[in-house]
Amino acid sequence: MSKKKHSVWIVEDDLFFRESLEGLIQAQNNLELTLSETSVEDVFACLLTGNSPDIILHDIGLPGMSGIEAIPYYKKQFPEVLIVMLTIFEEDEQVFESIKAGADGYLLKRTPGDDLIKGIQEVLSGGAPMSPGIAKKVMEMLAHGGPKKKSNLTPRETEVLTLLVDGLTMDMVSTKLKISPGTVDSHIKHIYKKLQVHNRAEVVSKAIKDRLV
């Protein structure tokens, strides 16, 4: 029996880049392109079709509603959907706003095709991919943000949270800290409970906003 393919939506108004993305997705055995539109408004017009995406590759700057503004709508309609934002520049404010809105990854459009696919596969595996330039901007925001908020996380939980913010998957955290995946999962559940969040996007957003790492 063949494995279920992950449904992918693309929302991108640049024709050349959109067609390139479509070709990349269609060449992957575990991905299926089920929707490709040029604006958020066009996507909303298609929501009644019954299709539920696993991942949305979304341009951040669009005519009409922006990619950032659309994130909460997607998350409400499809609570489990993963959203990777695509942009030309590493704008500080847009990176931060995307993360706060619940984006699961953030990649530059100039990222080579193979690395874009790696980022997509990474987010499907529980990671939070960021292009190197964007990751640097996030770290700068953490370094120059406001005062840290106190948390009741243990030192080990803080260590796990830091690795999650850095984009590591559960297996990667396990390898990095030399602990079992089950132990990592237990730490993550405790982190979620203490920070009152329900998924990876929320915990990364809260960690950055409250400067917990």
Is-contact 33 26, C-beta < 8 A? yes
Q: Which fold has domain 6-140?
A: Rossmann fold (3.40.50)
Bridge partners of residue 31, in order along the sequence: 6
Domain ranges of the chain: 6-140, 146-209
Predicted local confidence at residue 1, as pLDDT: 40
Q: In the chain, helix, strand, coil percent, each to 5? A: 55, 15, 35
Other Cβ atoms less than 10 A from the Cβ of 147: the count is 7
Long-range pairs for 45-52: beta carbons < 8 A, 24 or more residues apart: 47/77, 51/7, 52/7, 52/78, 52/81
Phi, psi of 149 (to 5 degrees): -90, 145
Predicted local confidence at residue 2, as pLDDT: 47
Walk along the chain (213 residues) and give the pLDDT tens digit of each residue.
446 789 999 999 999 999 999 999 999 999 999 999 999 998 888 776 657 899 999 998 888 888 888 988 888 888 889 999 888 866 656 777 777 778 888 888 888 888 889 888 888 887 777 766 666 666 666 655 554 567 789 999 999 998 888 778 888 899 999 999 899 999 999 999 999 888 777 787 788 777 787
CB within 8 Å of 104: residues ≥ 6 apart: 82, 83, 84, 123, 128, 200, 201
Instruction: Look up the CATH architecture of domain 146-209.
Output: Orthogonal Bundle (1.10)
